[in-house]
Structure 1
Amino acid sequence: MSASKVYYTDLRVKNGDNLLTKLQRLIKTAGIGAIDFGGKYVAIKMHFGEPGNLAFLRPNYAKAVADVVKELGGKPFLTDCNTLYVGGRKNALDHLDSASLNGFNSITTGCQILIADGLKGTDEELVPVAGGEYVKEAKIGRAIMDADIFISLSHFKGHEATGFGGTLKNIGMGCGSRAGKMEMHSAGKPHVDQDLCIGCKQCAKICAHGAPQFEDKKAFIDHNKCVGCGRCIGVCPKDAVLPASDESNDTLNCKIAEYTKAVIDGRPNFHISLVIDVSPYCDCHAENDAAIVPNVGMFASFDPVALDLACAEAVNKQPVIKNSLLGDKMETEPHHDHFHTVSPETNWESSIEHGVKIGIGQKEYELIQVK
């Protein structure tokens, strides 16, 4: 098998050019035009940024991609799924408010925004994972699976559980419904914070298995009946139903790879990753620490595994910014690579290896620079 092609452009521009036209030139050179977009719905999966975080991708980049899709005859929409944790994106209304606060709307992006797993994060499609070792049926936001073509637009940065957040993380974790996210994070079942529970019984109404029980008007989950679907998490108005978080980081990475396969298997897909503002932690934080390395550039490929590996290797070639978390840790931590040094308990290579194993990409790549 020949090496996958990963296309790259740096962030240098001359008079008469700009980064947005350079991004469009990159994805066209990378072959996005080989996809038949004619009249088809195109999901562009990205992260709209948790309120308070400023490291997320600007909406201008999304518009640059959406404009190319429209030029090629497609019908693009921006999309993400609701978060499992409490924050500004845990339901579709808050999620859209957060997106708007961060500058995303139909004018700034040139297309509409849909929250793929619906109002409460329960609108999902069960998608078989061919050859899945950890996941047999992924729970994917329905609007993402309804699309004819899938494009990922990722901000490449560090991550405290997966090592880095790139294309696989953006697709696998990002496209999971709230129940899907729980499945990736946990082998266990949810529990109830008694101090937050108000006894409204919404969890009991949505459960098909009678797992929520009540004592002194407070809910608890009977784990003998619970099947771990996570729907009770989505409907709780007080965020009192909490997921377990008991999977190892390696298993989490493997599940993310398998969820990625569920999303892209059997339909045209294309992937873009911007290695800029490389913050040490996820954009899901309501803050962002200083970048750990200088900005690198923009990358694109049909192969999500090769793309992640190319971006990771590009980051690891960069000098460390001293006034950053990585700079601080370089003084005290043994240095294996930049991501391990920031988050020593992580192993980003496991996502790459498992992605190769389940057939969603390969490690061998040819890096092609676009001017």
Structure 2
Amino acid sequence: MSPRVDRLGGPGQKFPQLLDKAGLADLVKPGDLVAVKMHFGEPGNVRYMRPIFPVMLVDALKKLKAKPFVTDTVVLYRSPRHTAWEYYGVARRHGFTSEVLGCPLIISGGLGDRSVRVDFPQGRRLKEIGVTSEIYDADVIISLAHVTLHLQYPIGAAIKNMGMGCVDIATKTAMHDARGTTPRHLAQYEATIDGAAAILSGLQKKFLGINLLLDITPDCDCWSKTELPIVPDLGILAGKDPVALDQASFDLITASPGYPGSKLEGSDGMHSGGDKVHPIYPKISTDRYFEIAATAGIGSSLYEIVDI
């Protein structure tokens, strides 16, 4: 979905059409418990997702007589999002409340980081995943991701939102500590993708991914500061294959011209088709990330974009 305004409007007006074209009505059944997994932003960050997008998604789910809840999990590091009690306050200050969203807002795992241990013997790095309790209980998981670059991954989008974003602190620790490859971050890729695969293929959760390519910053929303976007707004993508969704998002970013004054200034990344990642994060292995994801049983890097 293009960000340009035309006779159908802009992203806000086209979003319901995107959900329809992506097959939301075929995915969700009346009574389904639907986890809308997103990120509520770190204090100090101002380019996190606008609340109107989960509001519109929740409205669409309720029209289908589903039972949605909007959710995220606590983080590993020292942050106001390290405990559920504090994270609720962060979400509220950023405009995310149950009253605004029209459904429960739940920090999955609750005050005690409760989770269910899921055996995943086929995992490359992790043979057991701690899936936070409310996400484990959901019939459907919808990844609603604000796409950014990332310090440790080529892109922060659907795969990372599922892989690291749906698990408990013990599993997050194991992902960050993964070793045994050169360069080391390949092991972290494998561990994070294990998390996504354990949920999507291991638990066989019904899935839809929505990637917002708006305010595409060089750092993820976990940072307590905000840089200029690296490229102009590119629109919103949706699909049921997280690998194809993230690959398409990455390719659109690469094909775009760089944003004047951004961290790409002075590099080849300012040109359409120029490398957007390595001028900022020179050690990231972009191709290997998608190769690992495409062999994990959760999707394919092949895609076709249908415009709205």
Return the TM-score normalized by structure 1. Answer: 0.77
Aligned equivalent of 2:107, options 115, 134, 150: 115
Q: Give the superposition deviation at 1:94.
A: 0.6
Over aligned residues, Cα RMSD in angstroms?
Answer: 2.0
Please give the alpha-carbon distance, in whole angstroms, between the structure 2 residues aligned to 1:330 and 1:14: 31
Q: Secondary structure of the equivalent of 1:157?
A: coil
Call closer, same or farther: CA 1:36–1:283 in 2, change over 3 Å: closer
Q: Are 1:248 and 2:184 matched, yes or no?
A: yes
State how 1:1-371 maps to structure 2 within 5 Å: 9-14=1-6, 17-121=9-113, 123-129=114-120, 131-187=122-178, 248-265=184-201, 266-330=204-268, 337-370=275-308
**Post-superposition CA distance 1:167-212 (Å, at most 9, x none):** 1111111112111110100048xxxxxxxxxxxxxxxxxxxxxxxx
Please give the alpha-carbon distance, in whole angstroms, between the structure 2 residues aligned to 1:70 and 1:247: 46
Does the 8 Å contact 1:154/1:166 carry over to 2? yes
Q: Secondary structure of the equivalent of 1:154?
A: strand
Please give the alpha-carbon distance, in whole angstroms, between the structure 1 residues aligned to 2:251 and 2:28: 32
Please give the alpha-carbon distance, in whole angstroms, between the structure 2 residues aligned to 1:298 and 1:320: 18
Q: Secondary structure of the equivalent of 1:185?
A: helix
Q: Secondary structure of the equivalent of 2:41?
A: coil
- Give the counterpart letter for 2:219 in structure 1: Y
Please give the alpha-carbon distance, in whole angstroms, between the structure 2 residues aligned to 1:311 and 1:113: 27
- Gapped regions of structure 1 (runs ≥ 5): 1-8, 189-245
**1:228 maps to which residue?**
none
- Give the counterpart letter for 1:167 in structure 2: A
Q: Percent identity?
A: 33
Does the 8 Å contact 1:78/1:114 carry over to 2? yes
**1:5 maps to which residue?**
none
- Give the counterpart letter for 2:154 in structure 1: G
Please give the alpha-carbon distance, in whole angstroms, between the structure 1 residues aligned to 2:128 and 2:216: 33
- Give the counterpart letter for 1:142 in structure 2: S
Please give the alpha-carbon distance, in whole angstroms, between the structure 1 residues aligned to 2:190 and 2:178: 13
Q: Give the superposition deviation at 1:31.
A: 0.9
Does the 8 Å contact 1:185/1:252 carry over to 2? yes
Q: Give the superposition deviation at 1:366.
A: 1.2
Please give the alpha-carbon distance, in whole angstroms, between the structure 2 residues aligned to 1:59 and 1:133: 36
Q: Give the superposition deviation at 1:15.
A: 6.5
**1:212 maps to which residue?**
none
Please give the alpha-carbon distance, in whole angstroms, between the structure 2 residues aligned to 1:48 and 1:174: 12
Q: Secondary structure of the equivalent of 2:220?
A: coil
Q: Secondary structure of the equivalent of 2:75?
A: coil
Call closer, same or farther: CA 1:328–1:91 in 2, change over 3 Å: farther
- Give the counterpart letter for 1:183 in structure 2: A
Q: Give the superposition deviation at 1:341.
A: 2.1
Q: Give the superposition deviation at 1:23.
A: 1.0
Q: Give the superposition deviation at 1:77.
A: 0.4
Q: Give the superposition deviation at 1:361.
A: 0.3
Q: Give the superposition deviation at 1:17.
A: 3.8
Please give the alpha-carbon distance, in whole angstroms, between the structure 2 residues aligned to 1:292 and 1:36: 35
Q: Give the superposition deviation at 1:282.
A: 1.1
Does the 8 Å contact 1:186/1:247 carry over to 2? no
Does the 8 Å contact 2:242/2:298 carry over to 1? yes
Call closer, same or farther: CA 1:61–1:36 in 2, change over 3 Å: closer
**Post-superposition CA distance 1:2-59 (Å, at most 9, x none):** xxxxxxx111234774533311110111111111321111000000000110111111
Extract structure 1 runs of 4+ deviating beyond 3 A: 14-18, 328-331
- Gapped regions of structure 2 (runs ≥ 5): none
- Give the counterpart letter for 2:294 in structure 1: V
Q: Give the superposition deviation at 1:252.
A: 1.1
Structure with the higher fraction of residues in strand conformation: 1
- Give the counterpart letter for 2:293 in structure 1: G
Please give the alpha-carbon distance, in whole angstroms, between the structure 2 residues aligned to 1:348 and 1:71: 39
**1:225 maps to which residue?**
none
Does the 8 Å contact 2:163/2:193 carry over to 1? yes
